[in-house]
Chain A
C-alpha cells in the first residue's frame, strides 16, 4: 500500500471518521457473538421460513415499484414538456416528507371497513356488510408494498433526475444522429448511464424497507425485523437479535456487491462540462394530458390525499394536538436534523473524496463498512451507540474518580450529541452514496489538471469537485435532513429527559393507534420537510449556464 505524502492526511482522516462511525456497528457485531442462547433452532423450526419469504416479497415488491415510479417520473419531467411540469418536478419529492407509518395509518383509516370509501360504497349500492362485496384488505402484504413504495420512490426519483440532468448533450446528439428515438435513447443510453445513481437509490430503498418496523407491524406483515424484535424483547435474547441484524446487513452487502460486480467493466466520465441541457420534447393534446396525469399520480397518492386527511384530523383534534411546547418540539426536530445533515454531508464528502484518491483496499473497505449503519434497524443501532458511549463515559468517570476524586457522570450518553451521532451513523450511506455516484462521473483528468497547476487536494476538492457535484451533494443533504426529521427509534431510546421532537410526539399517540390526536405534529413534520425540499430543489434544477 503506497500512500503519497499529500494523500496521507486524507487517508488518516477518513480512517478515523470511518472507525468512529463504525463503532455502533462493531458493537452490534460484538453483541452477536454473545447471544444468551442460540436463537436459530427455534426460529428455523417455526417462523423463520415465513419471515424470510415475507421479507423477500416485500423487498422485491417495493424495489420494483419504486424503480418504476422513480425512474419513470424522473424521465418524464427531464425529457418532456407538459402542463404542470414545473411544479410536478418538485412536487414529486413531497411524499418523501411523509413518514411511512403515518401514510399507512391514514390509508387504513380511509380504506378499511369503517372508512370513508367502503362506507360510501355500501350506502351507494345498499350493501349491508362485508359479506356482500369484495374489497382489497389494506392491512396486507400488498398494502405494505404500496404504502412503502409511495413514500420511498423519491429516493430513486431524486437521484435519477439528478443523473438525467447531468448527462451530456453530446450523448444525446450522437444517439439521435444514429437514429434512435427518444425512448430508445432512454433505455440504451440514459438508463445505463444513470445506473450507478439508480443503484444507490435502490440500495437506500431496500435498506429502508428491510429495517422498517412501524408499517409492517401495523399491517401485521411479519418480516425478519419482526423476528428480530421478538427475539430481543419477548425471548430476552439481545445477542440473538443482533445476529439477525447482522444477517440482514449481510444480505444488503451481497445485494450491493452483486450490483457493483455486474458493472465492474463500466467506467463513465463526463469529459467536460456537459454543456447545454438536453432539449425537452414538447407534448401536446392527449399526450400532454397523459404525461401530466402520470406524473401527478404519485403526488396525489403519496402526498395530497394523506396530507388532506392529516389536515382534517389536525383541525378536528386541534385542542388535543396543540401544546404550548409545540414550537420547542419543532425547533428540536429542525435543529437536530439540520446539524446532523451538515455533519453527515461533510463526513460523506471526506470519505467519498478520500476513496477517490486512495484507491487502496483498506480505504474502500472502511468507507464501505461505515455506511452499513443504514441497514441496521434503528432500535438495535441505538443499543450499538449506547454501548461505546456509556463505556467511554464510565471510563472517564472512573479515571476522574480515581485520580481527582470527582465524578464526571455521563458526558455523552443521554445527550443531543448522542442523537446527532446516531443520525450520522444511520444516514452516512445516503450522503456518501450519492456524493460518490456524482464524483464518479468526473474524469480523473480534472484532478490531474488541477494538481499539475499546483493545487492541493483540498483546494481541488473545493474549487473543482464541489462546484461540479453541487447538485448531488445538495440532494444528499436534503435526503439526510428529511430522514432525520422522521427518524424515530434511535431518537426515542437515546434522548435526554423531557426531550421531545415532532416524531416522538407523533409516536406517543400513534403507538396507541391514536394518530388523529397527534396529526398536528405529523403535519408539521411534513411541512418542515417540505421547506428544504423546495429550497434545495430550486438550486438542483437551476438551469445550467
Chain B
C-alpha cells in the first residue's frame, strides 16, 4: 500500500529531527513572536558574518509559557517580540536576564531599552493615522484626540481594539489623559467607526480605497509594504500617512524587541546576535526591507521612510505603556469597542 510505504520512508527524517534539537554547538536559539520571513534575511547575514547558525521557533502565542515550563533546561537563548507588552511580560515572569553590553548601550537609546538590560528595542514603528487623499482634509486630523470628533462619524476604520498595537495606543492615552477622559475618547472613536473592527492594518487602508471609510489607524510599515506590492500600490496611493500629535507630545511609537533568557545555553552567541542586530547593517536591513525605523540613531531610515517626513515621537516610557495594557483591554471590553 503506497500510503504505508511512504509513511515508512518518512520516519527516518522525523527520527532525525527528534534528536537534533541540541546537537550543534555553534548556534543560537530563538523563540520568536514574529514571522520568520520578516527576519530571516537578517539572520542569514548574521550567519554569514559569524558562522553561527540561528534556529527559530515562531508562534504568536504560547512561547513565553513554553519558556517558563522548560525552565533552566530550555534550549532558547533569545525571545523576539513585536510589541512592548510581550517583552515586559517575559520580564515580569522573570524569564530573562540582564545583559551588560557596551555595544548595545551605545547603539540603543535609553528610552528603547531596559535600564538593567532585561530587554532591548530593535526597531520602532509609529501608530499612524491614514487619511484619504480625496475625502478628508489633513488639517482636520492632527491628533489621536481628533479621532473622537463627531465630524468623523461613520468615517473611521480600525482593526480590533484588542490588538496589541491598539492596546498600546489606548494605554498611552490613559497615561496622558487618565482613564476617565480616555473612556470618553474611546467611546467617541467607537461612535465614529464605519464598520465593526476587523482585519489587519492593511485591510483598513484598502477599505479607504474602496470608499468604506476616510481615515484609519495603522502602523507605518504597512504603508511601505503596500507601496512595494504591485497589487496594493493603489490602496497606498489613496491615502496620506500622517504622524499624529506633532504640535504636542509626539506620535505614539511601539517597538519590536528582544531579550536574553535565563537558561540561554548559548549566551555568548546570543549576545553576539543581539549586538549584530543593533549595528548598522542589520538596522539598515530592518529599515529597507521591513520599513521600520532603526532604533540606532546613527543609522538613517531608508529613503522611502525619509520621504514620509520627519516626525517627533512620544517620549512616554514604554514600560508605562506596558503597565497600562491590561487596563486598556478592560476598557475596550467595557465600552464594547469590538462589538
Contacts from A to B (Cβ < 8 Å): 42-43, 45-47, 50, 113-114, 129-130, 139, 218-220, 222, 229-230, 232-236, 238, 328, 331-332, 334-336, 338-339, 342, 379, 382-383, 386-387, 390-391, 393-394, 397, 407, 409-410, 413-417, 489, 492-499, 504, 508-509, 511-513, 516, 531-532, 535
Say whether A508 contacts B89, CB under 8 Å.
no
Decide if the interface of chain A is mainly helix, strand, loop or mixed: helix
Say whether B198 contacts A139, CB under 8 Å.
yes
- A413 cross-chain contacts in B, Cβ below 8 A: 66, 69-70
User: By the criterion of a CB under 8 Å from any partner CB, how many residues of chain B are at the interface?
Assistant: 65
- A218 cross-chain contacts in B, Cβ below 8 A: 199
- A230 cross-chain contacts in B, Cβ below 8 A: 162, 329, 333
With beta carbons under 8 angstroms apart, the residue of B6, B59, B231 that contacts A493 is B59
Q: Does B17 sit within 8 A of A, measured CB to CB?
A: yes
Q: Total A-B residue pairs with C-beta atoms closer than 8 Å?
A: 176
Say whether B13 contacts A331, CB under 8 Å.
yes
Q: Which residue of A lies closest to B235 (CB)?
A: A114
- B333 cross-chain contacts in A, Cβ below 8 A: 42-43, 46-47, 230
Q: Does B284 sit within 8 A of A, measured CB to CB?
A: no
Shortest beta-carbon distance from B214 to chain A in Å? 13
Give the complex CA separation of A45 and B272 in angstroms. 49
Say whether B329 contacts A234, CB under 8 Å.
yes
Given contacts A331-B10, A493-B59, A513-B199, 19 further A-B contacts (CB under 8 A): A47-B333, A47-B336, A50-B336, A220-B160, A220-B198, A332-B13, A335-B10, A383-B62, A386-B66, A393-B70, A394-B73, A410-B75, A413-B70, A414-B70, A415-B18, A494-B66, A496-B17, A497-B21, A508-B36
Give the complex CA separation of A365 and B130 in angstroms. 57
Give the complex CA separation of A407 and B57 in angstroms. 23
With beta carbons under 8 angstroms apart, the residue of A139, A229, A338 that contacts B61 is A229
Shortest beta-carbon distance from B137 to chain A in Å? 20
- B176 cross-chain contacts in A, Cβ below 8 A: none
With beta carbons under 8 angstroms apart, the residue of B60, B70, B338 that contacts A222 is B338
With beta carbons under 8 angstroms apart, the residue of B7, B202, B210 that contacts A113 is B210
Would you mind naming 13 contact pairs between A and B with Cβ atoms under 8 Å apart? A45-B334, A46-B334, A113-B212, A139-B198, A234-B329, A328-B13, A334-B10, A335-B13, A393-B73, A407-B73, A493-B63, A508-B35, A535-B2
Q: Does B311 sit within 8 A of A, measured CB to CB?
A: no
Give the complex CA separation of A345 and B35 in angstroms. 34
With beta carbons under 8 angstroms apart, the residue of B14, B19, B22, B71 that contacts A390 is B71
Give the complex CA separation of A37 and B19 in angstroms. 39
- B310 cross-chain contacts in A, Cβ below 8 A: none
10 interchain residue pairs of minimum CB distance: A335-B10, A497-B55, A220-B198, A493-B62, A338-B7, A390-B69, A46-B333, A492-B59, A234-B329, A113-B210
- Greatest chain B CB density within 10 A among A218, A328, A497 is at A497
Say whether A498 contacts B334, CB under 8 Å.
no
- B206 cross-chain contacts in A, Cβ below 8 A: 114
- B237 cross-chain contacts in A, Cβ below 8 A: none
Shortest beta-carbon distance from A398 to chain B in Å? 9
- A417 cross-chain contacts in B, Cβ below 8 A: 18
Give the complex CA separation of A133 and B175 in angstroms. 44
Identify which of residues 29-84 in chain B touch chain A, using a CB-to-CB cut-off of 8 Å: 29, 35-37, 55-63, 65-66, 69-75
Give the complex CA separation of A405 and B152 in angstroms. 68
- A387 cross-chain contacts in B, Cβ below 8 A: 69
Q: Does B3 sit within 8 A of A, measured CB to CB?
A: yes
Say whether B37 contacts A508, CB under 8 Å.
yes
- B167 cross-chain contacts in A, Cβ below 8 A: 234
Shortest beta-carbon distance from A112 to chain B in Å? 8
Mark interface residues in B207-232 (1 if CB within 8 Å of A CB, else 0). 10111100000000000000000010
- B330 cross-chain contacts in A, Cβ below 8 A: 42, 46, 235
Contacts A338-B10, A397-B73, A409-B22; is A236 near B326 (CB within 8 Å)? yes
Give the complex CA separation of A124 and B231 in angstroms. 23
Say whether B73 contacts A409, CB under 8 Å.
yes
Shortest beta-carbon distance from B39 to chain A in Å? 11
Give the complex CA separation of A113 and B209 in angstroms. 10
- B73 cross-chain contacts in A, Cβ below 8 A: 393-394, 397, 407, 409-410
- Greatest chain A CB density within 10 A among B19, B57, B210, B329 is at B57
Say whether B336 contacts A233, CB under 8 Å.
no
Q: Does B339 sit within 8 A of A, measured CB to CB?
A: yes
Contacts A233-B61, A235-B326; is A342 near B7 (CB within 8 Å)? yes
